[in-house]
Structure 1
Amino acid sequence: MKTLLLAGTALVAATVAHAQGQLNLYNWGNYTSPEMIEAFTAETGITVTITDYDSNTTALAKVEAGGSGFDLVVPTANYVPIFVEKGLLQELDHSRLSNIGNIDPRWMDVDWDPGRAYTIPWQWGTTGVAVNTTAYSGDVNTSDIFLRPPEELVGLVNVVPEMSDVIAMTIFNVGGEACTEDLTVLREVRDLLMSAKPSWISMDYGTTDKLSSNDLMATVNWNGSTMRARINNPDVVYGYPVEGYPLWMDSVGLLADAQNVDEAYLFLDFIMRPENAAMISNFARYANGITGSEAFMDEVMQTAPEIVVPEEFAAAGQFLPTCPQSATDLYTAIWTELVK
């Protein structure tokens, strides 16, 4: 009996070390390293199914509707408190995360998730503008690129349909502050966006490929996406709007109704190992929040102008707070009119 008991204990230990199961990850599109997923499956035996979304609002609505079947989700900083307030994330058991100490102290006690009670870092970056210099050789460090497009870019500008970023950049452009409810400012924001829209060619995602192939000459865009496009097309440059631009961090949270909790914890711990966090960054071209990952990153990441913010533009970047519902309602009204 003792021999059987010991054998059973060994079997349990082996199962923990090399779990067999499923994991369902709900993440931004074109944002998950296939190499990292392959490494995770090779190490654990867990099959990962990835479902893409295109905006924070899409992800929130899908999860809030219930019955999604997802285990992990990757919201942006200003959306994490909303997920938590709505009871959509479960508090993390740090005792099950042996690599929690690898989180850079800068990203551990963050405003949107103090002490990392609910999430761990995925990647972080900036939202600015990307421009093809064959179409426009002027100043790119301004949100006027999409709000008051120069003549050379009229009809060639895309705007990614991410409400928080676009509304915030427009508020900054007219001299307002994040989460403002000043109706004078917001009327100016609304009028500026509506007057700019006829100069745009689209409001769409897929900017990496379209910038690479010269299908877009300018767009509101994220820094890593722009870097990927620039590697394919050296004419693409990234601009940091001097009027103000968003900083952001996407973080991974365990959903309250997750079915594959053990597998989720193994995944969370896996991506906090520096070499694995680096695979995520090397694919999507954003920085991450894991100490020591830089040693495993591609050399081009170390000096890329899209990753290393020029000193003269650093002060213009800011993390967007989670706005009160009253402010969000005002922004949604503007956005609804804009996307009609």
Structure 2
Amino acid sequence: MKVSHKRSRLFWLLSLLLPIALVATACGGDDDDGGEAAACEVNETDGDLAIYNWAEYIDPELLEDFEQEFGVSVTMDVYDSNEAMQPIIAAGNSGFDLIVPSDYMVAILIAGGTIQPLQKDAIPNLSNISSDFQNLIYDPAGDYSVPYQWGTTGLAVDTAVVGADFPRTWGLVFDPAIADQYSGSISLLNDPRETLGAALKYLGYSLNTTDEGELQEATDLVASTRDRLAAFNTDSADEFLTTGETAIAHGYSGDMFTQFLDTDDPSRYVYFVPEEGGTRWIDNMAIPFDAGSRCTAHTFINWLLNGEQGAALSNYNYYATPNTAAVDGLDEELRVFVTSRDVAPVEVLEELVDTGDFEIKYSDAFIEAKG
């Protein structure tokens, strides 16, 4: 799927919705007197920081370092899908100051007025963001979001169960001729776009289809796997694999690789993007429209974009960094993992994009597929 096609369709959607988003964002970000919110200074704090993030996605010691350096308290709650996070933030009064939405979800949040424009003068370390992560389709000018980490979504296997010469295909999950022998030992992510996306790629379709027939095929395919699944699970997919509860696990590259390194024999486990293709995703930092400590949030973003902190972030969760200042500080094994063609050939990767009104069909389809 060519980027230019995705770009033109998303720009058309945003041209319809962005005026509404800007009004809503302005209302959410105003001070009590109805005026514009005062500018945040570099390293300014205006209260404690409440983060809403994916599980196990940042080293707790990093949060402690930020607390000590800036004299604030940091708390973090977690979610297991963008779709679980979005309505909580959109409803307002969530209490969160910083969230970590994925690429396609950023466009949805912008269109809904759910996140506020960034004050870029308060984030001078934006200059450390690689040119590969600028002019992104979901936030072309980077006005609302800052890339946090990126990676891929694929399968991980226990070679002690599946052998060393296993087929690198989604058929390990979806083809009964292959998958039935692992019945009860397979997990899929509890995520509508990712799990239906895996089925779509296996069927030869785009991750971003808006064809109802194709989506129904994917829905039926996921539903047909239910009896051989151990679980739809996001938070513990990596741990289920290395503790022997599963032999095949759908999951995120960094989660899997980090978990492998915690075992006695990391070489026993293999992560890969199946030959039919998979997701390359970019997670981002953004500030909810009604954040109570928006200056502290800006300061945290700027602090995390420092080379030292950026390297520490990736070396903890083993995802790839968009931060050029962090690259020299990455562990060598991480650098090899994120650049290996055996893990994820670039030509089979596709990024999730916002499908507009069709998004609700993905959510409904996933509910149907899970039964």
- TM-score w.r.t. the length of structure 1 is 0.90
**1:33 corresponds to which residue?**
59
Shift in alpha-carbon separation, 1:17–1:200, aligned structure 2, 3 A: closer
**1:323 corresponds to which residue?**
355
Q: Which moved more, 1:231-240 or 1:47-56?
A: 231-240
Match of 2:150 among 124, 128, 142: 124
Structure 1 residue 55, shift from structure 2 partner? 0.8
2:332 matches 1:299? yes
Match of 2:244 among 198, 201, 214: 214
2:222 matches 1:193? yes
Match of 1:22 among 36, 42, 48: 48
Query: Which amino acid letter does the alignment assign opposite residue 339 of structure 1?
Result: K
For the 8 Å contact 1:179–1:324, the answer to whether it is kept is: no
C-alpha separation between the residues in 2 aligned to 1:21 and 1:307?
40
Q: Spell out, residue by residue over 1:75-126, the C-alpha distance to the aligned partner (whole angstroms, 9 max, x if none).
A: 0001001011111111011111111111111112111111211011111000
SS of the aligned residue for 2:331 comes to coil
Task: Write out aligned runs for 1:147-296 (5 A).
Answer: 147-148=174-175, 149-205=178-234, 206-233=236-263, 234=266, 235-296=268-329
2:88 matches 1:55? no
C-alpha separation between the residues in 1 aligned to 2:145 and 2:327?
21
SS of the aligned residue for 2:160 comes to coil
C-alpha separation between the residues in 2 aligned to 1:315 and 1:328?
25
SS of the aligned residue for 1:176 comes to coil
Structure 1 residue 300, shift from structure 2 partner? 1.8
Shift in alpha-carbon separation, 1:165–1:79, aligned structure 2, 3 A: same
Q: Which moved more, 1:120-129 or 1:213-222?
A: 213-222
**1:6 corresponds to which residue?**
none
Structure 1 residue 152, shift from structure 2 partner? 3.3
2:342 matches 1:310? yes
Q: Percent identity?
A: 26
For the 8 Å contact 1:22–1:260, the answer to whether it is kept is: yes
Structure 1 residue 140, shift from structure 2 partner? 4.7
2:369 matches 1:338? yes
C-alpha separation between the residues in 1 aligned to 2:339 and 2:179?
26
SS of the aligned residue for 2:181 comes to helix
Query: Which amino acid letter does the alignment assign opposite residue 159 of structure 2?
Result: T
For the 8 Å contact 1:25–1:50, the answer to whether it is kept is: yes
Structure 1 residue 165, shift from structure 2 partner? 0.8
For the 8 Å contact 1:20–1:44, the answer to whether it is kept is: no
Structure 1 residue 19, shift from structure 2 partner? 4.7
**2:94 corresponds to which residue?**
68
SS of the aligned residue for 1:191 comes to helix
C-alpha separation between the residues in 2 aligned to 1:98 and 1:127?
31
Query: Which amino acid letter does the alignment assign opposite residue 149 of structure 2?
Result: Q
Cα RMSD for the two superposed structures: 1.9
Query: Which amino acid letter does the alignment assign opposite residue 237 of structure 2?
Result: T
SS of the aligned residue for 1:134 comes to helix
Gaps of 5+ in 1: 1-14
Query: Which amino acid letter does the alignment assign opposite residue 287 of structure 1?
Result: A
2:172 matches 1:145? yes
C-alpha separation between the residues in 1 aligned to 2:210 and 2:59?
39
Q: Spell out, residue by residue over 1:230-272, the C-alpha distance to the aligned partner (whole angstroms, 9 max, x if none).
A: 1123221112111110110100001110010111111011011
SS of the aligned residue for 1:91 comes to coil
Q: Which moved more, 1:86-95 or 1:200-209?
A: 200-209
Structure 1 residue 64, shift from structure 2 partner? 1.4
For the 8 Å contact 1:20–1:46, the answer to whether it is kept is: no
